[in-house]
Amino acid sequence: MGYGLLKDLTAQKEVDEVVAADANLEGAKAVVARVGSDKVKRVEKVDVTDRKATVKLIKGFDVVAGGLPRQFCDGAIAATIEAGVDWADIAANFGTVFSQHEAAKKAGVTVVPHIGLDVGTDRVLCGVGARKLDEVEGFYVGCGGFPQKGTPGYYNPINYKISWYWPFAVNSNLGVCRCLKGGKLVDIPILSDPTEIVFPEPLGKLEAYTNGSLVDVVEHLGLKGVKDAYAQTIRWPGHCEMWRRLRDLHFLDAEPVKVRGVDVSPIELWYALGERWLQYEPGEGDAICQRVIVSGKKGGKSAAWTYEFMDFGDQKEKLTAMARTTAFPCSIVAKMIAKGQMKMPGVIHPVKIGYDEELSAIFFKEMAKRRINITESFTSPFN
């Protein structure tokens, strides 16, 4: 994701200077070398848990584009607000980040958290659909990233390779999801409701399962009367059955077991095995797909807006589809903020971009420039 952010930001004519910063200095230098742009003036080592050092680094810049893992975002955002610099990222925790809204507003700082793929573009699309309806009754998001057909990852035992933070990908198959269905908050055991979902070829038939809530969208738009708001992860068919077997065999347990006198956590071992054996090899291709449906009433009649797109790894630029569709929305919004197109101090939910006609037009124009083309269709049984 860091590579995708640097690659895209340095390609923008409005960007004069970028500083890449990471706790792993050598890793950051390697990424910058791959990008190969003289706009990256320097590479800095910084531990974002050191607030004083982070504030010192950030001061004087127009905007920060954050590719940090989720657990580090809140602290880095607090440092950015203190430095008086705007922020956009790909992973902040919606459950905690909005507690910094008043501090950001007071400082005149715009913070757009989690403007990636899912969460990110999906929320923007939810905002667009809601804006175009008179009454909103339902939000649905289906999204996934996985190996392309015919590649080694497509044929491996779990039909998957790592294009996102692996522990989060594993944990998306565990536990219970609380979401809005039929006007009530209900708990759905993850992996319990696999359903077929179809996209155009070269994807075709896929499998979706509920593991996310869209209640944040309802709350931040201040909507009443919404009956359904839930999100599904999309994978190749058979995903739920395979992961249920792993779970039922206790390979995903956190509690350690003794192995030759050593305590070993099965899930930690699974993380390590995945990191070792499920990495994409050079030349392998990944794919992503996303579908967003916003339903309700228009002119007193039932209606729905559907948004959909697919993307595939860019072998020439050595960018995965996941990096393109996660990093690019963040870099787009970071540039929008820096250019003064988003004069909205505070912590701003991505759905607000979609709900604003002018901001959403800029966002989707920029996405199309990067060959991320989203189709829009309107359906009503009465038209």
Q: What SS3 class is residue 32?
A: helix
Confidence of residue 343 (pLDDT cuts 50, 70, 90): confident
Residue 283 is part of a domain; what is its CATH number? 3.30.360.10
pLDDT of residue 282: 87
Does the residue 29 lie in any domain? yes
Give the integer Cα–Cα distance in Å for 256 and 267.
9
Confidence of residue 381 (pLDDT cuts 50, 70, 90): low
The chain-wide mean pLDDT, for the chain, equals: 96
* Average confidence (pLDDT) over 163-177: 92
284 and 355 in a single domain? The answer is: no
pLDDT of residue 52: 96
Check: CB of residue 8 under 8 Å from CB of residue 327.
Answer: yes
Check: CB of residue 68 under 8 Å from CB of residue 6.
Answer: no
- Asked whether residue 179 carries a pLDDT value surpassing 90, the answer given is yes
pLDDT of residue 43: 96
97 and 154 in a single domain? The answer is: no
97 and 167 in a single domain? The answer is: no
Residue 218: other Cβ atoms inside 10 A = 21
Domain span holding position 144: 121-319
Which among 377, 309, 336 is positioned nearest to 65, based on CA atoms? 336
pLDDT of residue 382: 53
* % of the chain beyond a pLDDT of 70: 99
Give the integer Cα–Cα distance in Å for 349 and 109.
14
135 and 276 in a single domain? The answer is: yes
214 and 239 in a single domain? The answer is: yes
| DSSP codes of every residue in 340-370 | TS----EE--THHHHHSHHHHHHHHHHHHHT
336 and 311 in a single domain? The answer is: no
pLDDT of residue 154: 96
132 and 245 in a single domain? The answer is: yes
pLDDT of residue 321: 97
9 and 62 in a single domain? The answer is: yes
Which among 97, 252, 89 is positioned nearest to 169, based on CA atoms? 252
Confidence of residue 227 (pLDDT cuts 50, 70, 90): very high
**For the chain, how many structural domains are there in total?**
2
Does the residue 31 lie in any domain? yes
- Asked whether residue 66 carries a pLDDT value surpassing 70, the answer given is yes
312 and 342 in a single domain? The answer is: no
Does the residue 378 lie in any domain? no
For residue 284, give both structure tokens: 């392998």
Which of 319, 336, 354 corresponds to the end of one domain? 319
Q: pLDDT by residue (tens digit) across 74-99?
A: 999 999 999 999 999 999 999 999 99
Residue 333 is part of a domain; what is its CATH number? 3.40.50.720
Q: pLDDT by residue (tens digit) across 13-58?
A: 999 999 999 999 999 999 999 999 999 999 999 999 999 999 999 9
- Asked whether residue 173 carries a pLDDT value surpassing 90, the answer given is yes
Q: What SS3 class is residue 339?
A: coil
Q: What are phi and psi of 322, to 5 degrees?
A: -65, -40
